[in-house]
Amino acid sequence: MNRLQMLALCCCFVSVSVAATRFGTFPRVNDHHDMRIYFERGRWMVTGQQPYRDVFSEYPQIATWLFAIPHVGTAIWSRLSGTQQHPERLYRYLFSGLMALFLAGTIAMLYTLRHEHQWLAFLLLLPAGCYFTQNRFDIVPAFLTVASLHALRGRRCRTACALLAIATATKWYGLVMMPVFVIYLYRTNQRVPWSEIMSYGLVLGVIVLPTLLAIGWQGFLNPYKFHLTRLTNPESMLHLIMALIARLHVSHPLIDQVLLHGFLALQFAVAPLCLLVRLDTWDRVVTWSALSILCFMLFAKFYSPQWILWVTPLLVLLANRPIEVAGIVLLDVVTYVYFPYLYHLPDKPPMWFPGIIALKTALLALWMLHLLYRERAYWCLISRLGMPQQV
Residue 287 lies inside a defined structural domain of this protein: yes
Main-chain phi, psi angles of 51, to 5 degrees? -60, 150
Question: Is 246 part of a structural domain of the chain?
Answer: no
180 in Cβ contact with 274 (< 8 Å):
yes
Pick 191 or 374 by higher pLDDT.
191
CA distance readout (Å), 216 to 127, 201, 221 = 42, 19, 9
Which whole-number Å values give the CA distances from 35 to 92, 133, 247, in the listed order?
7, 11, 36
> Span 305-321, mean pLDDT?
97
Q: Is residue 391 part of a domain?
A: no
Per-residue pLDDT tens digits for 87-129: 889 999 999 999 999 999 999 999 999 989 999 999 999 999 9
Average pLDDT over residues 187-206: 95
Residues 9-24: tens digit of each pLDDT: 999 999 999 999 999 9
pLDDT of residue 250: 84
Residue 235 domain-assigned (yes or no) = no
What pLDDT score does 387 carry? 52
CB-facing half-sphere around the CA of 125: CA atoms within 13 A:
15
Give a yes or no: residue 305 inside a domain. yes
Answer yes or no: is 243 within a domain: no
pLDDT above 50: residue 247: yes
Residue 169: name the closest of 206, 214, 222, 199 by CA: 206
DSSP 233: -
> Is 56 a member of any domain?
yes
- Helices 308-318 and 282-298: crossing angle in degrees, nearest 10, is 150
Residue-wise pLDDT tens digits, 215-225: 888 888 889 88
Q: Span 340-359, mean pLDDT?
A: 90
Domain assignment present for residue 125? The answer is yes
Lowest mean pLDDT among 30-44, 134-148, 230-244, 372-386: 372-386
Q: What are phi and psi of 291, to 5 degrees?
A: -60, -40
Residues 167-185 pLDDT 10s: 999 999 999 999 999 999 9
* Percent residues over pLDDT 90 in the chain: 74
In the prediction, which pLDDT does 381 show? 61
Query: What integer pLDDT is reported at residue 2 of this predicted model?
Result: 84
Distance, CA of 128 to CA of 139 (rounded, Å)? 12
- In this structure, the dihedral spanned by the alpha carbons of residues 211, 214, 219 and 222, taken in order and rounded to 10 degrees, is -20
Q: Has residue 37 got a pLDDT over 90?
A: yes
Which of 34-38, 205-209, 227-231 shows the lowest per-residue confidence on average (mean pLDDT)? 227-231
- pLDDT tens-place string over residues 193-202: 999 999 999 9
pLDDT 10s digits, 75-96: 888 888 777 667 889 999 999 9
Residue 386 has pLDDT above 90, yes or no: no
CB 296 within 8 A of CB 329: no
What does the pLDDT read at residue 377? Answer: 62
Q: In the predicted model, what is the mean pLDDT of the chain? A: 92
What region does 249 belong to: left with phi over 0, alpha with psi -120 to 50, or beta?
left
Taken in order 8, 11, 14, 16, the sign of the CA dihedral is negative
Mean pLDDT computed over 269-284: 91
User: In whole angstroms, how large is the CA radius of gyration of the chain?
Assistant: 22
Query: What confidence tier does 391 reach under pLDDT thresholds 50, 70, 90?
Result: very low
Number of domains in the chain: 1
Q: Which domain holds residue 360?
A: 3-19+29-230+267-384
Chain centre distance of CA 101: 17
User: What pairs with residue 51 in β-bridges?
Assistant: 55
- Which residues lie across from 24 on neighbouring strands? none
